[in-house]
Amino acid sequence: MSDLLARHRAVIPNWVAVYYDEPIEIVSGKGNRVVDASGKTYLDFFAGILTNMIGYDVPEVREAVERQLATGVVHTSTVYLLRGQVELAEKIAKLSGIKDAKVFFTNSGTEANETALLLATYARKTDQVLAMRQSYHGRSFGAIGVTSNRSWKNNSYSPLNVHFLHGADRHLPQFRAMNDADYIAACVADLRHVLATTVGGDVAALIAEPVQGVGGFTMAPDGLFAAYKEVLDEQGILFISDEVQTGWGRTGSAFFGIQNHGVTPDMMTFAKGLGNGFAVGGIVARGDLMDSLHATGLATFGGNPISMAAAKATLDYVLDHDLQANAARTGAHIIAGLREAGKRLPIVGDVRGKGLMFAVELVDPATGAPAPALAARFMEETKKAGLLAGKGGLYGNALRMAPPLTLTMDEAAEGLGIIVAALETINAEVA
Ligand code: PLP
């Protein structure tokens, strides 16, 4: 064990998510690659943790931050007029498609979701909330309440009264056997049943991830969220789309994940990639909701000039270079290659993805059962070969990959080659 890892273990909580036996220390980065303390280079297929949306050491972002630093003001307070905050909010409000949208900036996704839940429960005067099975929305009181992924929830407490709906979690055999239309009909019937028999009155909101991130990049079938929205609208229940992982074109086919489903939510929350490494989160929502509560009045650091400069430069870069189209193109190439490899490798239980957000589930070739040990093995094998990935999912057996949206076709082919080679090695060991 390295000296730094020993010191880390002594002062950082045990539960910190560590994907590797010996996590590397990243000391520099350029383009879509990072370098560790020993000088080894890695192609980053997890973009930090979907944070480095347009790669490393991007001149446009660096220069925007340096220009702000040169003014001598890192941050004063959000009680003053901040030009960068207004300009970025205007862009996000327009892109959101939400009517009369307003934006409130936070420092993380957790804080953004907390704000959304506060607004929804206040607007509807109830603590009843709907969320999805297998979800992850953050670490705080409200956000952990609407999280159902047990490994993160871990017996924590929450003030919310939450009811979990089916969506991307088609693990039960009866759901697997159904076609999408029948499954959607069953989910909607279940939602109506929950509303009629389980909740003790009005419901504030449904919060959902369009593609479940921590849950293993799992997707509800097309049409499910639209069908849910119809039922919610009948009762005035609000829809919160958690776009922390799916925003800004990552799914290739839409700029925000929920737009893949033809649904316009009442609120969207975001964070991770927007600042390209600088801490920026936020919520974009209907103006009437945003104006209803002082909770959207002031965050000391949310919307600060440095993170706004980084975020505006990042968003402009994404739009100017049409990175959504790049995500669609490079992602389709990788997903097709993984599907092809999956056909001949019995350890591959499932390949799924949209744009530059794709996952491979590893299973025991004999029983088809989830194989988290093989996922751990994959992480070590790809690390050795110079590629960084992520893992997770309900059973810890989903390999999750989300490279920067700036990935080139050459890098896509290189990464695909490393992934397939690692899968072949592991398959040969166990199949
Ligand atoms: N929502 C989703 C979908 C996430 O994936 C995450 C983090 O992984 C969060 C919220 C929490 O964001 P943060 O870690 O910035 O608080």
Interface pTM (ipTM) of the complex? Answer: 0.99
Q: Using a 6 Å cutoff on CB, does residue 271 contact ligand 1?
A: yes
The pLDDT, as a whole number, for residue 227 is 98
- Say what the pLDDT of residue 155 is: 84
Residue type, 211: V
Among 49, 136, 148, 218, which residue has the most ligand 1 atoms within 8 Å of its CB, making it the best to mutate? 136
β-strand partners of 44: 388
Which candidate, 357, 424, 384, places its Cα nearest to that of 53? Answer: 357
pTM value > 0.90: yes
The answer, yes or no, to whether any atom of ligand 1 lies below 6 A from the CB of 110, is yes
Q: Are 106 and 121 in contact (CB under 8 A)?
A: no
pLDDT tens for each residue of 56-97: 999 999 999 999 999 999 999 989 999 999 999 999 999 999
For 388-412, how does the pLDDT look when each residue is reduced to its tens digit (9 = 90+)?
Answer: 999 999 999 999 999 999 999 999 9
* 168 Cα–ligand 1 center, Å: 18
Pocket test for ligand 1, best of 272, 280, 283, 357 (most atoms within 8 A of CB): 272
Band (pLDDT 50/70/90 cuts) for residue 264 is: very high
- Listed residue (297, 242, 282) closest to 111, CA to CA: 282
Fill in the amino acid letter for 161.
N
Task: Give the CA radius of gyration of the chain.
Answer: 21
pLDDT in tens, 219-262: 999 999 999 999 999 999 999 999 999 999 999 999 999 999 99
- pLDDT over 90 (residue 172): no
Give the residue among 379, 386, 331, 372 at the shortest CA–CA distance from 354. 331
pLDDT, position 200: 84
Burial (Cβ within 10 Å: 0-12, 13-18, ≥19) of residue 52: buried
